[in-house]
Amino acid sequence: MTSAIFLAMLCLGMALPSPAPDPILDVEWQKWKIKYGKAYSLEEEGQKRAVWEDNMKKIKLHNGENGLGKHGFTMEMNAFGDMTLEEFRKVMIEIPVPTVKKGKSVQKRLSVNLPKFINWKKRGYVTPVQTQGRCNSCWAFSVTGAIEGQMFRKTGQLIPLSVQNLVDCSRPQGNWGCYLGNTYLALHYVMENGGLESEATYPYEEKDGSCRYSPENSTANITGFEFVPKNEDALMNAVASIGPISVAIDARHASFLFYKRDSWASHCLMDFIFQHGYTMGQ
Ligand X SMILES: *[C@@H]1O[C@H](CO)[C@@H](O)[C@H](O)[C@H]1NC(C)=O
Binding residues for ligand X, rule CB under 6 A, total: 8
Binding flag, residue 157, ligand X (CB under 6 A): no
Determine the residue type at 178: C
Show the site string, 198-227: x = touches ligand X by CB under 6 A, - = not: ---x------------x-xxx--x------
Cβ 146 vs Cβ 247: under 8 Å: no
Residue 281 CB, nearest distance to ligand X (Å)?
33
Please report, as a single letter, which amino acid is at residue 143: V
Stretch that binds ligand X, among 1-9, 43-51, 193-201, 246-254 (CB under 6 A): 193-201
How, if at all, do strands 196-197 and 218-220 pair?
antiparallel
Q: Of 70, 37, 34, 280, which is closest to residue 178 (Cα–Cα)?
A: 280
Per-residue b/e over 223-257, b at no fewer than 16 CB within 10 Å? eebebbeeeeebeebbbbbbbbbbebeebeeeebb
Comparing CA positions, the residue from 232, 165, 158, 152 lying closest to residue 196 is 165
Nearer to ligand X (CB atom), residue 115 or residue 215: 215
Nearest distance in Å: CB 162, ligand X: 10
- Cβ 214 to ligand X, closest distance in Å? 3
Instruction: Collect all residues with Cβ–Cβ distance below 8 Å to 35 and sequence separation of at least 6.
Output: none
* Residue number, 203 or 281, with CB nearest to ligand X: 203
Interface with ligand X includes 194 (CB under 6 A)? yes
Q: Which is nearer to ligand X, 64 or 172 (CB)?
A: 172
Question: Does the footprint of ligand X cover residue 74 (CB under 6 A)?
Answer: no
The DSSP secondary-structure symbol of 52 reads H
Q: How far is the CB of 216 from ligand X (least distance, A)?
A: 4
Task: Choose which of 21, 195, 229, 277 interacts with ligand X (CB under 6 A).
Answer: 195
Least separation in angstroms between CB 186 and ligand X: 16
The amino acid present at 249, given as its one-letter code, is I
- Residues forming contacts to ligand X in the complex (CB under 6 A) are 194-195, 201, 214, 216-218, 221
